A and B are shown apart, each in its own frame.
Chain A
């Protein structure tokens, strides 16, 4: 029941990735994705061949569907292994925003003004062992999300939005399928999610109307898991496939091999084409070496793509040389990058604004590759969220005067003077990588010009989010990035600026702001809702919650025998599940 007018790009995944290797880039080249690729081959897509996917990661962070919440990993798993009730169309440009049915027969039916949603499963859908996928399997998958100590890292929309009561501390009374204690209120969950008598229709009852809940169904959080095969933490190693491929071999640090799932039938899955016979993911490669291999384009690398994008240092080479013209891609990723200001540690508004005014955003952008890196951001809502985006004029008068891209130390000093308090020393938390160290240098230098002392605090990338999400450990200023989970700023403003929103690193808790958020969430007229989100975006900027830096872009280079490449907007990466091999 997507509202009319949903046209722009839908995003999934959270901004948590993009730490080390995730690209940046710039765009001398033709405008965004434009659908490049297959100009050399005259014939259309064909079956067969082996698709290689190269990555510097040592393994997939998670293959457990309920724990998978990283843009590229979602695109990968959704394309090959995990079917969801709905999915995003495989199409370049804005076409990728279109919601299509996958496991379900249609994109869902809303009743009760959007408070109740039903989806009916297709006939003949099975897991890799041949057993049919039923409503109970989808329901079991959803239930796993509630076991927050076991099923970690995943999205929490089921916990937030399903009509399940919470206890005094605000935690759900349902604790997931693994907890056998008496305080686990299983009945509450069984009431919120129900199955029809024929076990084919799933109905979800929400605690408030959500007009585009069917978009949430694209998240693997809502994909089926057979209870008999669930192994808790260990399910990550060998998830049961419902898609056209199954895992033949998964050696972390080395490779993952997918072969065709004999039980999958094209008839039950009009969404996927499953072109290649085999998919091999190679882990633990040097990022520069990956780029060099793709540039050299020899042997098996001709049918290779990368999981993440090109490295900044190689962008000039790839985009200046016409020989790569047919196999390079440049487009927007779903992410907004920013520096989060901890309002609990810097309660003085003028001081927060001073930091915003002082920051050299141009230097930040250059470090990430200049034009390839993306556009300077003016808020946390990206223009791709067309209904919700409106320029905030943050840098053109919102704070009282124009602020150049290099920052305005004089204005910052004035703001500090007006603050009536001594500027505290600012500790800047960031994941310890070479690129991030350079950003830290830029923060130290530009805030320093305004007389603000900044102490850099590098944190091991693996622990980074654990630290900054802990109010006791987070410092004044933090590197961050966020991408909406679907085409609605309801997956941006609330998670970022509401207590327990999920990613409220600004530690912001403003009663009036919260009330406006709740009002916007409940607004079912999508245009009116968009205006409310846009207003809240301006509000957040005026209140100095973040220093927005980049509306990010991403660049890809693929092997010469890869067909069907484009930047798939929902996930900001290649449409892995729809690529094919040219013979």
Chain B
């Protein structure tokens, strides 16, 4: 864990998986779901997340209903003597339910809702890419063994040795330009860059876990029988082995998703983010830092929302892991 660990230490605790044995398919899934449904904390977390995701998805509708807009400036809402919001709690009013941004008078609620779309989209896509790469590399390394395994292992060592946050930050301006010149103008290129960069943080951990799983699964009878029946490699990999991996993948996904949300925020906080005027939580937080003495509400709302989402994902992730593996479970 390199510098990235600072952002989300322990987001990828490989230790939790190392002793885990291969988990047999469906029946366990049903069992786990039953356990999960009984877990009140997990259910609360899940409902919270569903509500927030719905808010993000329907942001255009909600903002239209409330007559707010993430991009419109409102010079009546901020003071001409210093640019601070007029009114209590960062300019809260009927017109601006969560106040406004200092200096511009843009509506905080609308920006939070639209920001959620970008932040969640980026972290969700990055989670999927991470898992895809991790699983593919892990399966190949575990199944082929030998020099392929060794080479992939060393490669992962090097990837993990890099202070990825620094590399990501310093490559950003240039690579986004490159993506733009490939036709992804404006925010398309930037969002894609963020997704790609965030994805490279997590895949080696998953690949190691998957590799371990595959090493043990491939010795099992059903794989051996498939081999003896002359099944092709790809069939064995994807039909026989992959279905046995979904439990660790799911657990891993619930762990990295919140860490990626926080990572996206940190990257924006450090100046690599989407272009203005598009809002993201991280960019809002980065801006609010300067105002945290004179306008704490401006820091509070995006900070609290970010915390709630990450907390909910973490709780859910915990619960999912416990449900799948009751041995280490909470009580």
Contact = CB atoms under 8 A, between A and B. Distances in A.
Contact of B71 (A315, A316, A445): A445
A440 B295 contact: no
A316 B81 contact: yes
Given A26-B80, A372-B81, A460 B173 contact: yes
Contacts of A37: none
A49 B7 CA distance: 44
Given A313-B82, A313-B83, A455-B186, A434 B290 contact: yes
B79 interface: yes
Interface string A344-368: 0000000000000000101100111
A305 B47 CA distance: 53
B75 A369 contact: no
Interface in B61-90: 71-73, 75, 78-84
Given A313-B294, A362-B75, A445-B72, A369 B83 contact: yes
B271 interface: yes
A287 B73 CA distance: 26
Contacts of A26: 80-82
A367 B290 contact: no
A391 interface: no
Contact of B276 (A312, A319, A441, A459): A441
Contacts of A523: none
A456 interface: yes
A438 B103 contact: yes
B82 A372 contact: yes
Contact of B81 (A28, A292, A367): A28
A444 B73 contact: no
Contact of A367 (B84, B103, B275, B286): B103
A287 B213 CA distance: 51
A455 B176 CA distance: 14
B3 to A, nearest CB: 19
Nearest to B284: A434
A366 B105 CA distance: 9
B325 interface: no
Interface string B163-198: 000000000010000000000011000000000000
Interface string A437-481: 110111011000000000110111000000000000000000000
Interface in A363-418: 363, 366-372, 406
B121 interface: no
A371 B293 contact: no
Given A26-B81, A26-B82, A455-B185, A366 B290 contact: no
Contact of A313 (B75, B186, B277, B291): B291
A317 interface: yes
Contacts of B317: none
Interface string A305-322: 000000111111101100
A206 B275 CA distance: 48
A438 B75 contact: no
B287 interface: yes
A288 B290 contact: yes
Nearest to A425: B185
B291 A371 contact: no
Interface in A239-292: 287-288, 292
B107 to A, nearest CB: 13
A432 interface: yes
B102 interface: yes
A160 interface: no
A441 B105 CA distance: 12
A445 B71 CA distance: 7
A105 interface: no
B104 interface: yes
Contact of B83 (A366, A434, A441, A455): A366
Contacts, number: 112
Interface in B81-120: 81-84, 101-106
Interface in A78-101: none
Contact of A366 (B78, B277, B287): B78
A315 B82 contact: yes
Nearest to A437: B276
A514 interface: no
Given A311-B290, A313-B290, A313-B294, A441 B82 contact: no
A317 B81 contact: no
B73 to A, nearest CB: 5
B290 A370 contact: no
Given A313-B295, A434-B286, A442-B104, A319 B81 contact: yes
Given A287-B290, A366-B104, A442-B73, A313 B81 contact: no
A316 B102 CA distance: 12
Given A288-B290, A441-B104, A445-B73, A316 B79 contact: yes
A361 to B, nearest CB: 11
Interface centre among B79, B185, B271, B276 (most CB of A within 10 A): B276
Nearest to B75: A366
Contacts of B293: 288, 292, 313-314
Contacts of A437: 276, 283, 287
B290 A440 contact: no
Contacts of A444: 276-277
A320 B291 CA distance: 17
A435 interface: yes
A440 B278 CA distance: 11
A168 B71 CA distance: 52
A317 B75 contact: no
Contacts of B276: 437-438, 440-441, 444, 456, 458
A432 B286 CA distance: 12
A434 B282 CA distance: 12
A550 to B, nearest CB: 13
B81 A370 contact: yes
Contacts of B287: 434, 437-438
Given A292-B293, A363-B75, A316 B82 contact: yes
A170 B286 CA distance: 46
Interface in B236-282: 271, 275-277
A25 B103 CA distance: 11
B102 A313 contact: yes
Contacts of A434: 286-287, 290
B104 A438 contact: yes
Contacts of B295: 313
A522 B173 CA distance: 45
Contacts of A313: 82-84, 102, 290-291, 293-295
Interface centre among B84, B103, B290 (most CB of A within 10 A): B103
Nearest to B177: A457
Nearest to B105: A366
A367 B294 contact: no
Contacts of A372: 81-82
B104 A312 contact: no
Contacts of A442: 73, 104
Contact of B80 (A360, A371, A406): A371
Contacts of B289: 288
Contacts of A459: 173
A396 B173 CA distance: 41
Nearest to A442: B73
Nearest to A373: B83
B80 A366 contact: yes
Given A316-B79, A369-B82, 4 more contacts: A313-B82, A366-B103, A366-B104, A434-B290
19 contacts: A288-B289, A312-B83, A313-B82, A313-B293, A316-B79, A363-B73, A366-B83, A366-B103, A369-B83, A370-B82, A371-B80, A432-B271, A438-B103, A442-B104, A445-B277, A456-B275, A456-B276, A456-B277, A460-B173
Closest 3 A/B residue pairs (Cβ): A370-B80, A316-B82, A441-B277
